[in-house]
Structure 1
Amino acid sequence: MSAAEISKKLSSQTLKLLQKMQVGELTEHLIYTRVADIIEKRSPENAAVLRRVGEEERRHAAIWKSYTGFEAKPDLHKVRRTVLLARIFGFTFAMKKMENGEESAQKTYGRLFAEVPEAERICADEERHEQELLAMLDEERLHYVGSMVLGLNDALVELTGTLAGLTFAMQNNKLVALSGLITGASATLSMASSEYLSARSEGRPDALKSCVYTGIAYLITVTLLVLPYLLLPAGAYLVSLLIMLLTVVLIIAGFTYYVSVAQGLAFRRRFTEMASISLGVAVISFIIGLIVKQCLGIDV
């Protein structure tokens, strides 16, 4: 029985579902193609992977069209959004995020098996080939996630504790910001140089890149944590402290989400672990700041 004959027997609900899937396949074809164009020069192997997956999506859309007779158009909003993510966070993150969203779509295929003969083959094809191809995706920045985690985590733990302790010891935003910037700048250089020496001692040829990623992650974290103390009035140190702690949680959530998507790791456990350590150190340092201020009788 031909696709046209089968389509006449399909329910309206199934036809709508097939049309939706047709739009999705065309959208993904366009996304893969555009991202491949972006990375063609710097990563031709990965561009070839994306083009292969994109061509597969285009063929799937053609199969659905043979059943629906529907002239589908891609979701250009999703295309632009995903391409933007690829430019900002890297193509691996964007592609993995898109594929994670597709996992729920796999369940949809099960509803079509009885009515559409091609559905089971396409489902198996997507599960096998797309994941296999996407597993080949590789990106330089992901090689240095360990270095970024080192810089980020060290900055969060050290600066969160330092700023929390200084907040009640000094009770002045400008003094806290001054101390935080000096501490952060020296700690950035110290951490980056330590990472470089560590990598060199291991005989790694990428020691310089590793230390640069560590230093950048540390410096960005320092800047974000000190910013509330720089922008708010000198007496609003409690507000600055709360904003700083909120910033810590957001940084941890954002970076953990990035790593969990790009590397396929569990988000909740990693987030809870990092947040507990950083905020725990902040609370301890906060208490130490109060004790030191009272014991030494210093009033700044």
Structure 2
Amino acid sequence: MQRKPISPEARKQLIIAQRNEVTEYHIYKRLARRIKNTHNSDVLNNIAEDELRHYKIWMNYTGREVNPSKWDIWKYYWIARIFGITFGIKLMERGEESAQINYDQLAKEIPEAVGVSKDENDHEKELIKMIKEDKLEHIGSIVLGLNDALVEILGTLAGLTFALQNTKLVALAGIIAGIAGALSMSSSEYLSHKSEGNAEGAIKPAIFTGIAYLFAVVFLVAPFLIFASPFMALAVAVVDSVFVVFLYSYYISVANDQPFRKRFLEMVILSTVVGLLSFGLGYLVRVLFGIEI
């Protein structure tokens, strides 16, 4: 049966879609070969076959092979390996959504476009939800550690900056408070899970919480080890805290399909308010007790 010729605009969109599909096919296949978890590997292989099937559907209309994007294969493969499969895949899918492929318009000329669109929106998203990762299963513990560190340590550094006005002393106090806070948060997270009757699964959340806490501490204390001016160091620490909030807010928004702006603004405002209060408290303590170092 001879197919009806398609318009130049439709053909142009199909070629873009072909490149997306074959690129993602190679990304999924490469990830499936490299990961050890057989469940996740099977899920990735299933998604890869979907992508290849879509590619062949479009090729029936364009009548040409399309090469994958080697840069995208390399980029998203390593993003998935470093930051987690789910994050890497969803970030890639966001890129596909911005490719300006209008399936509703294509469906007027190509009936199969409806089925492909449904696969992209429903079937593949359901498959992605089946992927199991420690990073996502313990995302609550990671957020808990980061949030507490950013609020507590930034507040501590702000207060000590005005009370002591000595970068080395502030850094030393920040490191001590950070290590103590990380151990405290880890033990609290462990006991919390254990009290819920989940003794075997209590260790990983505790580890993730502690590591996240220490990660934030390193970012916040580092400026006090670099700059001579305590106020310059504090300013950089505040910028660092905003950067950390931006990173994990964006990560969560992509990996868990949550709104980015609301979470980001809430955390920035909370950290800023606590920092200003602590800064004022440090000044008050310095004046009341006449501390001069």
Query: Could you tell me the TM-score, scaled by structure 2's length?
Result: 0.95
Q: Which residue of 2 aligns with 1:71?
A: 65
1:106–1:123 CA contact under 8 A, matched in 2 = no
**Which of these residues, 80, 84, 95, is aligned with residue 86 of structure 1?**
80
- For the aligned residue pairs, the C-alpha RMSD in angstroms reads 1.5
Partner SS, residue 52 of structure 1: helix
> How much does 1:101 deviate?
3.1
* AA at the equivalent of 2:134: E
Residue 260 (str. 1) matches residue 271 (str. 2)? no
Matched, 1:161 2:132: no
Report what 1:186 is aligned to.
180
Deviations 1:192-221 (A, max 9, x none): 112212222222121111111111111111
Identity of aligned residues (%): 47
Query: 191, 212, 228: which one pairs with 1:197?
Result: 191
The offset of 1:102, in angstroms, is 3.2
Give the match for residue 222 of structure 1: 217
Higher mean C-alpha deviation, range 108-117 or range 217-226: 108-117
In the alignment, which residue of structure 1 is the partner of 2:277? 284
Measured after TM superposition, the shift of residue 149 of structure 1 is 1.3
Select between 93-102 and 24-33 the one with higher mean Cα deviation: 93-102
The equivalent position to 1:275 in structure 2, one of 268, 274, 291, is: 268
Q: 2:240 aligns with which of 247, 253, 270?
A: 247
Question: How many Å separate the matches in 1 of 2:39 and 2:9?
Answer: 41
The CA distance in 2 between the partners of 1:125 and 1:182, in whole Å, is 53
> Are 1:28 and 1:54, in contact at CA under 8 Å, matched by a contact in 2?
yes
| Number of residue pairs matched by the alignment | 292
- CA drift of 1:106 comes to 7.8
Aligned partner (choices 26, 30, 54) of residue 60 of structure 1: 54
Task: List alignment gaps of at least 5 residues for structure 1.
Answer: none
Task: Report the CA distance between 1:81 and its aligned residue.
Answer: 0.6
Higher mean C-alpha deviation, range 197-206 or range 22-31 = 197-206
Partner residue of 2:14 out of 5, 12, 18: 18
User: What is the letter of the counterpart of residue 49 of structure 2?
Assistant: E
Match of 1:145 among 139, 144, 148: 139
5+ residue gaps, structure 2, are none
Counterparts of 1:134 and 1:141, CA distance in 2: 15
Whole-angstrom distance in 1 between the partners of 2:248 and 2:30: 26
Please list every run of at least 4 consecutive aligned residues from structure 1 whose deviation after the TM superposition is greater than 4 angstroms. Answer: 104-107
TM-score scaled by length of structure 1: 0.93
Distance in 1 between residues matched to 2:208 and 2:234, nearest whole Å:
27
